[in-house]
Structure 1
Amino acid sequence: MNGQELQKMAGDCTVGLPDVGVEHRFGPDWNVYKVRGKVFMLMTDMPGRPVVILKADPDDAVALREQHPDITPGYHMNKRHWITVEGGGTVDEKLVEELVIDSYRLVVGGLPKSEQPVDPHTYGRRV
């Protein structure tokens, strides 16, 4: 999948997520996805390459970067807690969906319990 397909797929994954909004506060080239005011996904173009930037558990982020050459440390973000995903051979639709939902759940889990739109421990988990 190429970068545009990656961004469309990631954006489509957010459609059913509760309380998600999109802003363009860094300019028209940045889509900033938030849940209850907290960022969980960003989309932009690094020079000539459309990317998706997602929050990730630090241990998972290391493993993902080791397994997928198309996943690198977060562009303009904390390199330990964020990853950048590019379109490429090792990134497929299932992985993109998992990464978007994981990022959403991580951010929801950091909200006060009374503000959490879903249970971050169970939401989106496949049984």
Structure 2
Amino acid sequence: MKYDWMDAYCLSKKGVEKDYKEEWQATRYMIRGKIFAMQGGDGKGEPIITVKLEPLSGAQLREEYKDIVPGYHMNKVHWNSLYLRGDVPDKVLRGMLDQAYRIVLGSMSKKVQKEIARSE
């Protein structure tokens, strides 16, 4: 699979948990139960990863890359899906994952952010 580094990259971030949601048929990457990325398939079964992005950033990426589209079954303003069989550079996907992680972590209380920063 292209982007075979993605799972390890997500799990290398502090405080990240991973699970598989059977009814969604998707692997979720979360911080304290809040999803920042989700890997599954679109309506046709094509493999995608859906990530939370700042609205302007997501819109720019969708304009630049045909393989980045509004989030599948998610809020189209804040979520974007990337086709895993597409041609988006690794560097771009890493940036998307980093931004998604920062957004979700930043939405948590300062106390929780400090706890996660101190975790191993």
TM-score of the superposed pair, with normalisation by structure 2: 0.86
Instruction: Kindly indicate whether structure 1 or structure 2 has the higher relative contact order, using CA contacts under 8 Å at least 6 residues apart.
Output: 1
Question: 1:37, 1:114 → 2: CA distance?
Answer: 16
1:90-105 maps to which residues of 2 (within 5 A)?
Answer: 91-105=88-102
- Cα RMSD of the aligned pairs, angstroms, is 1.5
Question: 2:22, 2:112 → 1: CA distance?
Answer: 25
Instruction: Give the C-alpha shift of residue 41 in structure 1.
Output: 0.4
Is the contact made by 1:38 and 1:107 (CA closer than 8 Å) also made in structure 2? yes
Q: Deviations over 1:17-54 (max 9, x none)?
A: 01111122343721011011110000002223110000
Question: 2:80, 2:26 → 1: CA distance?
Answer: 16
Unaligned 5+ runs, structure 1: 119-127
Unaligned 5+ runs, structure 2: none
1:25-104 maps to which residues of 2 (within 5 A)?
Answer: 25-27=21-23, 29-46=25-42, 47-86=44-83, 87-89=85-87, 91-104=88-101
**CA, structure 1 residues 15+109, in 2 after alignment: closer, same or farther (shift >3 Å)?**
same
Identity in percent: 29
TM-score of the superposed pair, with normalisation by structure 1: 0.82
